[in-house]
């Protein structure tokens, strides 16, 4: 009899040890910001506000630290790491801490590169992300609603993006578009590649790839597309302000909301969800650019409502 009791207790102990960290006890969230203030802080503030308004996991303490304080991080069972921005994600991944880690405000390509370099591709339930990239279907829905009749979608991609190119082409076909992809081999090749692409497409879709779209290239890209009379669909409010005709994007508060909801579900789901695109989104329109190009376009509220209806059921 004692033997069976001992065996049962041993099996129960082993089972508890094998549970995912988040299932055993989620004691708190440590938020690591790539930079203090700005969009990074807005994500963290929204996360803290949402968690403080609800029961259950809402009582979890949320600690915010800047990346420069990251050296103080240690293996702490029961803690979830939330990396805000690419720099925080990269630095935390290098530490190889055992805590589950969720990254936000990161491009999907950057997340996959970091996961690959740190041996985390096979660990998506403990190393996950809410990426900046909107689902292809949502972006094609914006083009369909904002620029009806334009079906040849040009995209500039970096040379190390074969999987992205395949997924993009397949999604375009499903949505009734043709994706025309031009690979940019280097900085010197950017404008020649762009000009070739603009001669074949009737709308340019920008993707959040910092190798192509960054503060040093944005003005040249926007001016070149404008001269060719090809509207550009951006991926952020700043791109719309700078000259993109429209964009679908998720603001920091929306990302913070989604991150908080993931944390609240950890107790039930036991592990992080697979890497996912933003759930909540907004639409921006540059009416001045539209007028200059002679394009009639719906206002932001109308396009936002149309996209919400068409994207119902997306993750």
| Together in a domain, 103 and 124 | yes
What is the percent of the chain where pLDDT is above 90? Answer: 68
Sequence-ordered list of residues with C-beta below 8 angstroms from that of 39, at least 6 positions apart, any chain: 105, 252
| Together in a domain, 193 and 263 | no
- Residues 73-87 pLDDT 10s: 887 888 899 999 999
Say yes or no to pLDDT of 4 above 50.
no
> Within a domain: residue 157?
yes
Q: Beginning with the edge strand found earlier in the chain, give each strand of the sheet holding 246-249 in spatial order.
A: 178-183, 152-157, 203-205, 232-234, 246-249, 282-285
Tally of structural domains, the chain: 2
Residue 63 structure tokens = 């600690």
> Within a domain: residue 265?
yes
What is the CB neighbour count within 10 angstroms for residue 152? 14
| Together in a domain, 285 and 195 | yes
Residue 148 structure tokens = 């009806």
Q: Are 183 and 236 in contact (CB under 8 A)?
A: no
Q: Single out the residue of 184, 202, 204, 205 nearest to residue 193, CA to CA.
A: 184
| Together in a domain, 53 and 86 | yes
> Within a domain: residue 5?
no
| Together in a domain, 198 and 286 | yes
| Together in a domain, 144 and 170 | yes
pLDDT average, residue stretch 154-163: 88
pLDDT of residue 315: 42
Could you give the CA distance from residue 164 to residue 113 in angstroms, rounded to a whole number? Answer: 13
| Together in a domain, 104 and 118 | yes
Say yes or no to pLDDT of 19 above 80.
no
Cα dihedral sign, 215-217-218-220: positive
Say yes or no to pLDDT of 13 above 50.
no
> Within a domain: residue 202?
yes
Range(s) of the domain holding residue 263: 12-132+255-269
| Together in a domain, 204 and 159 | yes
- Residues 206-243 pLDDT 10s: 998 888 999 999 999 999 999 999 999 999 999 999 99
| Together in a domain, 98 and 155 | no
| Together in a domain, 116 and 229 | no
| Together in a domain, 114 and 190 | no
The domain that holds 188 is classified in CATH as 3.40.50.2300
> Within a domain: residue 53?
yes
| Together in a domain, 38 and 80 | yes
> Within a domain: residue 93?
yes
């Amino acid at each position: 009899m004692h033997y069976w009791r001992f065996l049962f207790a041993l099996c129960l102990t082993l089972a508890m040890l094998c549970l995912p960290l988040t299932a055993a006890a989620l004691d708190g969230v440590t938020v690591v910001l790539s930079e203090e203030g700005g969009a990074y802080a807005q994500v963290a503030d929204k996360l803290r506000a949402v968690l403080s308004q609800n029961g259950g996991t809402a009582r979890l303490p949320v600690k915010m630290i800047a990346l420069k304080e990251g050296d103080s991080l240690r293996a702490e069972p029961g803690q979830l790491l939330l990396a805000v921005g690419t720099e925080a994600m990269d630095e935390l991944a290098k530490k190889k801490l055992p805590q589950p880690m969720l990254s936000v405000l990161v491009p999907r390509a950057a997340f996959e590169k970091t996961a690959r370099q740190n041996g985390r591709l096979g660990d998506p339930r403990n190393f996950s992300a809410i990426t900046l990239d909107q689902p292809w279907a949502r972006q094609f829905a914006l083009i369909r609603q904002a620029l009806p009749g334009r079906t040849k979608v040009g995209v500039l991609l970096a040379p190390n993006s074969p999987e992205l190119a395949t997924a993009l082409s397949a999604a375009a076909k499903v949505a009734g578009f043709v994706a025309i992809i031009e690979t940019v081999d280097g900085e010197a090749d950017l404008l020649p590649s762009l000009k070739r692409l603009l001669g074949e497409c009737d709308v340019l879709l920008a993707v959040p790839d910092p190798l192509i779209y960054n503060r040093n290239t944005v003005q040249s890209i926007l001016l070149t597309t404008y001269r060719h009379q090809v509207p550009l669909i951006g991926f952020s409010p700043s791109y719309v302000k700078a000259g993109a005709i429209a964009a679908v994007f998720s603001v920091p508060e929306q990302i913070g909301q989604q991150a908080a909801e993931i944390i609240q579900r950890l107790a039930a789901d036991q592990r992080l969800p697979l890497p996912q695109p933003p759930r909540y989104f907004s639409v921006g329109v540059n009416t001045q650019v539209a007028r200059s190009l002679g394009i009639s376009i719906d206002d932001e509220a109308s396009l936002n409502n149309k996209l919400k209806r068409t994207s119902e059921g997306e993750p």
